[in-house]
Structure 1
Amino acid sequence: MKYKKSAHSSYLIQAHIIFVTKYRERKFTSEMLYKMNFIIKRECLKLKSELVEFNGESDHVHMIISYLPSISISRLVNVLKSIAGREMKLWFPQLNQVAWR
């Protein structure tokens, strides 16, 4: 692991984030996971963060993200979850179905 440096400090902040489908329904395919990986990487670059690891199954996604101390974890998760969810529903309309239980 390499520490990142700023003017007066060294840091290495990583978060293990898990996104889960509603009711843990098995909805993700390999094509969907590939597209989500692309979306998350792109948004991390916009936030000056780095997607260290990405892995997923049919009902959840694991990510390890290295980010700056100036970004709060709540903002990072909010941005990633909202944009990834919105774009995934645009690319894959079957994810936009209402979940009834």
Structure 2
Amino acid sequence: MEDYKRGSHTVWDCKYHLVWTTKYRYQVLGGDVGLRCRALLREIAMSKEMIIYAGSINRDHVHMLIGIPPQLSVSRAVQYLKGKSSHKLLSEFRALKKRYWGQHLWARGYWVASSGNVTDDVWKEYIKNQTPPEPDDDFEVVSIGRTADRSGFEP
């Protein structure tokens, strides 16, 4: 339980493996651009209460193992990460702005897979073995043929 994050009404551990690429797979994420991209992704994740467990910025794509809070959808999280980082990188690096004159650093779309320590087969077995609770044997319903008084209670 120590790895779980807590909200006011939730306990959660939602991890995802995300991958997205640069537009046209141009290899532009090396050197200073890659270092700045890493710093930006960390800032954006922290601002939205996401937790980066691992990451890799290759010359033409980004890999992240990231924890996303349950109130934030995966698509919205990726929208923040890609959108804000693209805007900042294009404004800070002249060579990127020249290459990506349409103001789109990242290719459309992304790849995502949820990460967990339980397989689908374990979940299926768990769900299959769920049984309804047994009724309490000490609770009986008794029908009495008498009529109730004005208060609605039987004498």
TM-score norm. by structure 2 comes to 0.58
Aligned residues: 99
Structure with higher Rg: it is 2
* Equivalent position of 2:7 in the other structure: 6
| 3-state SS of 1:52 partner | strand
Is residue 62 of structure 2 the alignment partner of residue 61 of structure 1?
yes
Aligned in 2, Cα 1:91/1:71: closer, same or farther, shift over 3 Å? same
CA distance in 1, matches of 2:26, 2:100: 12
Unaligned runs of 5+ in 2: 102-155
Identity of aligned residues (%): 23
In proportion to residue count, which structure has more helix?
A: 1
Aligned to 2:72: 71
Asked whether 1:87 is paired with 2:88, we answer: yes
Question: Displacement, 1:81?
Answer: 0.6
More strand per residue:
1
Q: 1:8 to 1:82 in 2, by over 3 A?
A: closer
Instruction: Quote the RMSD (CA, aligned, Å).
Output: 1.9
Rounded to whole Å, the distance in 2 between the matches of 1:19 and 1:84 is 12
SS in 2 for 1:2: coil
Contact 1:40 1:51 in 2 (8 A): no
What letter corresponds to residue 71 of structure 2 in structure 1?
A: S
Structure 2 equivalent of residue 37 of structure 1: 38
SS of match in other structure, 1:36:
helix
Correspondence for 1:51: 52
Letter in 2 for 1:43: I
Unpaired runs of 5+ residues, structure 1, are: none
- 1:63-98 residue CA offsets vs partner (Å, 9 max, x unmatched): 111121011111101111110001111121211224
**Take 1:52 and 1:9, find their aligned partners in 2: how far apart are those partners?**
20
Moved over 4 A (4+): none
Alpha carbons 1:26, 1:58 under 8 Å: kept: yes
User: Counterpart of 2:49 in 1: which secondary structure?
Assistant: coil
Specify whether residues 98 and 39 from structure 1 end up closer, same or farther in structure 2 by C-alpha distance, changes over 3 A only: closer
